[in-house]
Structure 1
Amino acid sequence: MIPNIPPTQTWDALRNNPNAQMVDVRTEAEWAFVGVADLSEAGKQAVLIQWQVYPSMQRDRAFEDRLARAGFTPDHHLYFICRSGVRSLAAAEAARAAGFPHVFNVADGFEGPIDAHGHRGHAAGWKAEGLPWLQR
């Protein structure tokens, strides 16, 4: 089972563990229009590797190869994030099956669930927790 880690604990791990890294598995469109986690205070940046390729939303069959090409090894602690935590969980499971033992899912993702007004980013997730992010 892949552990679901709250965004604030993820942020702490990224700042305190040199082997911790965030892998953002959303689409290029999401990175461009919604924003990305700003990890500069931790001396890092999120590694952007799509789990599903926009616009077809088909799983990227080269996903595991892209993790390896990004320089990740079994020693890394990989924190996977997507919009709400569903795609990132699937990506973390694939990473574990590919030989990365220290994988985590960022609970509620970058934007979290839809709130009472039909919007994301306010009820839970990275943005709602007030963690650093930027528009690309």
Structure 2
Amino acid sequence: MEQNYAGDVSVEQAWEVLEQDPDAVLLDVRTIPEFQFVGVPDLSALGKDTQLLPWQVYPQMQVNPDFVATVKQLGIREEQSLYILCRSGVRSVSAAIALTAQGYKNCFNILHGFEGPADERGHRGKVAGWKAAGIPWKQN
């Protein structure tokens, strides 16, 4: 099966590239309530900001019709490496595919996303993903 985006990376790999490549961008595609109540990646130690742009619009959860146009308005160039994050690594794949279809060449899905899968008690953020890996994040 052909993959329609650049590939999948671990949260650690994404952090490493974001640290080393000044042009690499972290794009968080979760919803506004997730940004507000769950937290967001903190790239301040790298001198960068996480770009926050929902792939789906809460509460109806329809795909954001302005998603690709807004990425362009943010000034993200087609050749830049884009590391795309959602809660668990599903919406970010869809966003990576959509951006790749519109000419973005280096769209990477971050495996397990910000919170990863639920643990045996149904809690996220402890098994895998950005938070579980101990990579910097903050509450807004």
- Scaled to the shorter chain, the TM-score interval is over 0.9
1:91 matched to 2:99: no
> 1: distance between equivalents of 2:24 and 2:17?
6
Secondary structure of the residue aligned to 2:26 is: strand
> Is the 8 Å Cα contact of residues 108 and 124 (structure 1) preserved in structure 2?
yes
What residue in structure 1 maps to residue 61 of structure 2? 57
Q: Tell me, which stretches of 5 or more residues in structure 1 are unaligned?
A: none
Residues paired across the two proteins, number: 136
1:75 is displaced (CA, Å) by 2.0
> Is the 8 Å Cα contact of residues 10 and 79 (structure 1) preserved in structure 2?
yes
What residue in structure 1 maps to residue 117 of structure 2? 113
> 2: distance between equivalents of 1:105 and 1:71?
20
> Is the 8 Å Cα contact of residues 19 and 75 (structure 1) preserved in structure 2?
no
> 1: distance between equivalents of 2:102 and 2:70?
11
> 2: distance between equivalents of 1:79 and 1:26?
13
> 1: distance between equivalents of 2:54 and 2:44?
21
Q: CA RMSD in A?
A: 0.6
**TM-score (structure 2 length as normaliser):** 0.96
**TM-score (structure 1 length as normaliser):** 0.98
The sequence identity of aligned pairs, in percent, is 47
Moved over 6 A (4+): none
1:19 is displaced (CA, Å) by 1.5
1:41 is displaced (CA, Å) by 0.9
What residue in structure 2 maps to residue 71 of structure 1? 75
Amino acid at match of 1:32: Q
Amino acid at match of 2:124: R
> Is the 8 Å Cα contact of residues 25 and 87 (structure 1) preserved in structure 2?
yes
What residue in structure 2 maps to residue 40 of structure 1? 44
